[in-house]
């Protein structure tokens, strides 16, 4: 029964909305101590479920010596970290998530490991787990060692680790970190600092074989469990079955969408008309893979600032931009991932040494705006999950249609999302602070339409401009390739979502 639930929960046609969490800094206890597994089990699943997320994704919880690595420099590939207490508590956290209807995904790190002498480095006095030649075995970006993917015993060790987290702890999938660094022998290396493969190429054939094997075995031994790739290049077929020449992952992070859309949102609205293509380009390749749209921890650290801090304008415009961006993201094809703190509209960037700024929600003077962002995320998740048009064809071109893509001057985008039964949802985004009145758009069918979500709603901290609770009756005025059309009010810096009434 649970296998069927797991399959339904992660299928390409299912709504998948992931809350990414670093357990050590989601909340802290008195004296800034870590919460225990059981304290996390009591608080985290209830919170994520109340906000409508379908999954939680945990930054690596395998044992690691350095807090500042966030878990990505692992020394214990089979050991839950002791930071949160006895390992049995992890099983209780996973069970608590499942009891709330949440799937659990773990970050898994087979790309590299730290060079600490108490770990796997030079385990028997020589290069046992790592490549011997530093041109293969040393990762220059992270000062770490690279597993010897050409050694059968090392690959067996890594495959066993992947299966262990799923079989022993009952998690529902793995997000594989830094896949691009595994695929290419010349990853982040200058000429002369890498060794080619046996054919003289740059591909790491042994790592490719390992990834395919991991995916095949997980799908065979744990039906319904998923694997997701953090892969930042244009490597073809990341989510194609390995039997068809692909890597066999279920989903790939769409880092291109993330980079382009955030670059657009950083622009002052007066200049956005010159960058209109940055929001549109992702649709060109949106259905080449099964994608997750990630606003992950990597975007809110190392001086990048918070999501709110990336938004231009005064305080009101920053919040309005962020709400409009979230609306665009949740309506865009692809599964969703949001790192903790984004739902609060947190102003400072993430700090792994302290908890999130939960007090923002309680402030009398500013709390309403932060509570508004949190409420919007809840409502977006609920709408996304309840409307098949917003998720069923996330990975299929048939589920998307441009209505208005060429309104550069007004920075407006309008598109339709569709389900397999023919139902449609209309999405309109206005990325300027100027309301657009009497904006006519073509619509399918003859039904009246009604506004279901407006990121400028006063409940979210917006101005309250919109299309009201009433019906928008379509008229027999051909527009945008449709026989009928409706007239909209587009709120400033806002995304609105409508459906037939």
Query: Please, which residues have CB within 8 angstroms of residue 472's CB and are 6 or more apart in sequence?
Result: 448, 449, 450, 451, 486, 487, 488, 498
Exposure of 362 by Cβ count < 10 A (0-12 exposed, 13-18 middle, 19+ buried)?
A: exposed
Active-site annotation holder among 63, 107, 172, 177: 177
Options 230, 289, 369, 419, the catalytic residue? 230
Tell me whether residue 289 is one of the annotated catalytic residues: no
The answer to whether 324 and 431 have CB atoms below 8 angstroms apart is: yes
- The owner of tokens 């799908």 is 219
- What is the secondary structure of 423-472 as a DSSP string? -EEEEEEE-SSS-EEEEEEEESSS--EEEEEETT-GGGTS---S--SS-B
Compute the distance between CA of residue 133 and CA of residue 113 in angstroms, rounded to an integer.
16
CA distance 310 to 321: 10
DSSP 3-state assignment of 348? Answer: coil
Q: List CB contacts of 291: < 8 A, sequence separation 6 or more.
A: 251, 252, 253, 254, 257, 333, 334, 335, 394, 395
Token couple for 295: 């606003």
| DSSP E strand boundaries for 1-68 | 17-21, 55-58, 62-63
CB 337 within 8 A of CB 377: no
441-475 in b/e burial notation, b at 16+ Cβ within 10 A? bbbbeebebebbbbbbbeebbbbebbbeeeebebe
Integer Cα distance of 389 and 115 in angstroms: 49
In the structure, how many helices (H) and strands (E) does the chain have? 14, 19
Q: Which residues of 13-29 are buried (b: 16+ CB within 10 A; e: fewer)?
A: bbbbbbbbbbbbbbbbe
In order, the DSSP letters of 53-121 are -SEEEEPP-EE-S-GGGTT-S-SEEEEE-GGGS-THHHHHHHHHHHHTT-EEEEEE--S-B---TTTTT
Q: Which two tokens stand for residue 486?
A: 């409706």
177 as an active site residue: the answer is: yes
Alpha carbon distance 182, 197 (integer Å): 13
Structure tokens that stand for 158 in this block: 């890594």
Active centre residues (catalytic): 177, 230
């Amino acid at each position: 029964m649970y296998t069927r639930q797991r399959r339904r929960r992660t299928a390409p046609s299912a709504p998948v909305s992931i809350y990414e969490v670093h357990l050590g800094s989601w909340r802290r206890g008195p004296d800034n101590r870590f919460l225990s597994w059981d304290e996390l089990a009591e608080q985290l699943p209830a919170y994520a479920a109340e906000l409508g997320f379908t999954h939680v994704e945990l930054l690596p919880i395998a044992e690691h010596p350095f807090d500042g690595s966030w878990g990505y420099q692992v020394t214990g590939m089979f050991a839950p970290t002791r930071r949160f207490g006895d390992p049995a508590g992890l099983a209780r956290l996973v069970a608590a998530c499942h009891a709330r209807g949440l799937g659990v995904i773990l970050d898994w790190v087979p790309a590299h490991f730290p060079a600490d002498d108490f770990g796997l480095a030079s385990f028997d006095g020589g290069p046992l787990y790592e490549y011997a030649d530093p041109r293969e075995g040393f990762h220059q970006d992270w000062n770490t060692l690279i597993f010897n993917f050409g050694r059968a015993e090392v690959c067996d060790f890594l495959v066993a680790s992947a299966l262990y987290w799923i079989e022993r702890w009952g998690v529902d999938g793995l997000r594989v970190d830094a896949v691009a660094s595994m695929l290419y022998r010349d990853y982040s290396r200058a000429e002369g600092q890498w060794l080619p493969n046996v054919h003289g190429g740059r591909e790491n054939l042994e790592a490719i074989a390992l990834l395919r094997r991991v995916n095949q075995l997980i799908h065979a031994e744990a039906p319904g469990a998923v694997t997701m790739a953090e892969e930042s290049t244009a490597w073809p077929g990341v989510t194609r079955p390995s039997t068809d020449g692909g890597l066999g992952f279920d989903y790939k992070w769409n880092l291109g969408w993330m980079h382009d859309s955030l670059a657009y949102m950083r622009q002052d609205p007066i200049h956005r008309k010159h960058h209109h293509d940055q929001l549109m380009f992702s649709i060109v390749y949106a259905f080449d893979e099964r994608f997750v749209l990630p606003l992950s921890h990597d975007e809110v650290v190392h001086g990048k600032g918070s999501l709110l801090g990336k938004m231009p304008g005064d305080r009101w415009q920053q919040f309005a931009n962020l709400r409009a961006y979230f609306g665009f993201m949740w309506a865009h094809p692809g599964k969703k991932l949001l790192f903790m703190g984004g739902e609060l509209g947190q102003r400072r960037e993430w700090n792994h040494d302290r908890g999130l700024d939960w007090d923002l929600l309680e402030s009398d003077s500013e709390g309403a705006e932060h509570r508004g962002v949190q409420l919007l995320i809840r409502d977006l998740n609920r709408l996304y999950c309840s409307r098949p048009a917003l998720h069923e064809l996330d990975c299929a071109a048939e589920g998307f249609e441009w209505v208005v893509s060429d309104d550069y001057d007004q920075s407006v985008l309008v598109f339709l999302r569709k389900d397999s039964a023919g139902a449609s949802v209309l999405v309109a985004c206005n990325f300027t602070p100027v309301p657009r009145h009497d904006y006519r758009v073509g619509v399918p069918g003859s039904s009246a339409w009604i506004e279901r979500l407006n990121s400028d709603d006063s409940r979210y901290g917006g101005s309250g401009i919109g299309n009201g609770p009433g019906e928008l009756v379509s008229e027999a005025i051909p527009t945008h390739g449709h026989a009928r059309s409706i007239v909209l009010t587009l709120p400033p810096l806002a995304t609105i979502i409508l459906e037939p009434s």
